Amino acid sequence: MTKKTKILVGLSGGVDSAVALYLLQQQGYEVEVAFMKNFSEKVNVKGTCPWKEDRLMAYRVAAHLKVPIQTFDFEAEYHDKVVNYIFDNYKAGLTPNPDVLCNNEIKFKLFLEKAIKLGFDKIATGHYAQVKEDKDGFHLLRGKDLNKDQSYFLAGLNQTQLSKAVFPIGDIEKPEVRKIAKQAKLPNADRKDSQGICFIGKVDLKIFLQQKIKPKTGEIVDTKGNVLGEHQGVWYYTIGQRKGLDIGGSGPWYVVSKDIKNNKLIVGHVDDEALYNKSVQMTDLHWLGKEHKLPLKAKAQIRYRQPGQDIVLSSRAKSRDLIAEFKKSQAGVASGQILAVYKKDELIASGNIV
């Protein structure tokens, strides 16, 4: 990548993308900025996304660094691709991962396509991840700051997307990012990190889902079938969930499974075998680069910020599905989530948990 490379930076209003922009500017690249407006209650359901504040801050950062900025409106596409996906999956009893889909369909597809059309060579974001290139292609690596590593959310990217992606803070730890922001006198140097669903914000999941999935009273039972209480709809819960069950007895209780057909929520204790899985079935296997021979010894994550777990990944006879056999049983395996496969610090493959 030469210093003549033209890069469009996705500026969110947060400190991470602001520092990413600043670093690229300091390194001599030709940079411009775009803010993505993906969610507002005008087009979408109700959320807590402070998009007006975010956009104002993005424009302040761009003005401070004297970089051209524009706004891309992807609201309709975000609603069709991500919001509908959230509701459809929860209604089917699954636990979706909108952050992964948002990266696949919005940031590294729509945003990237628009950037290329406008004459940019690459796009940059404030993700804590790294891309390395060698004779075998492009490799997605964990961010240096393992407490902030976001490679898991990028598990669906392909070689074309990786070839166009720049992650300027991927080899920097968060405290250093804050330090750089203050040294550069960025207006958002002390702004808190965003939380919650990608672009929607931090919401009460039950209240959020009730906008399109109507409540339906059902029983909460333990693994032996004893009735412990009532719920307002199994769709509002996720496997492994502990908070918000509102049942007493010899708790704490965890959601073990969801009986969608009979609208029953099955719960168990932390030592209940039903809460754990030694093997996980996955489908839609996606290799980020070259394919590896199976069976494959590797590490895997079934959720963000989970330490890598030892697995053996193998194919199932006469089926396109694969099986990840874990060395240690995993608690709270949720169908619909992403299983990310790593070799050392490289994310090599991903798939949907069945």
Assigned domain for 310 exists: yes
Amino acid 45: pLDDT: 56
| Same domain assignment for residues 80 and 106 | yes
- Domain's final residue, options 271, 289, 308: 271
Assigned domain for 126 exists: yes
Assigned domain for 197 exists: no
In this structure, what CATH number is given to the domain that contains residue 237? 2.30.30.280
Query: Is the pTM of the predicted complex or chain greater than 0.95?
Result: no
- Residues 281-323 have pLDDT tens digits of 999 999 999 999 999 999 999 999 999 999 999 997 666 779 9
In sequence order, what E strands does 77-222 have? 122-124, 129-134, 137-142, 165-166, 218-222
How many domains is the chain built from? 3
Assigned domain for 72 exists: yes
User: What secondary structure letter does DSSP report for 224?
Assistant: T
Given a contact cutoff of 8 angstroms between Cβ atoms, the answer to whether 187 and 64 are in contact is yes
| Same domain assignment for residues 10 and 121 | yes
Given a contact cutoff of 8 angstroms between Cβ atoms, the answer to whether 325 and 279 are in contact is yes
Assigned domain for 170 exists: yes
In this structure, what CATH number is given to the domain that contains residue 15? 3.40.50.620
| Same domain assignment for residues 68 and 11 | yes
Assigned domain for 193 exists: no
| Same domain assignment for residues 264 and 282 | no
- Residues 127-149 have pLDDT tens digits of 999 999 999 999 999 999 999 99
49 pLDDT above the threshold of 70: no
Strand-pair partners of 199: none
- Residues 73-90 have pLDDT tens digits of 999 999 899 989 999 999
81 vs 78: CA distance, rounded Å:
5
| Same domain assignment for residues 261 and 296 | no
Complete DSSP assignment for 73-104: E-HHHHIIIIIHHHHHHHHTT----HHHHHII
182 pLDDT above the threshold of 60: yes
- Residues 104-135 have pLDDT tens digits of 999 999 999 999 999 999 999 999 999 999 99
| Same domain assignment for residues 121 and 22 | yes
- Residues 189-210 have pLDDT tens digits of 999 887 656 555 666 788 888 8
| Same domain assignment for residues 167 and 27 | yes
- Residues 326-349 have pLDDT tens digits of 999 999 999 999 999 999 999 999
> Sorting pLDDT into bands at 50, 70 and 90, what band is 257?
very high
Residues of the domain holding 323? 276-353
Assigned domain for 190 exists: no
Assigned domain for 41 exists: yes
Catalytic residue numbers, as ranges: 102, 198
| Same domain assignment for residues 252 and 287 | no
| Same domain assignment for residues 124 and 256 | no
| Same domain assignment for residues 12 and 51 | yes
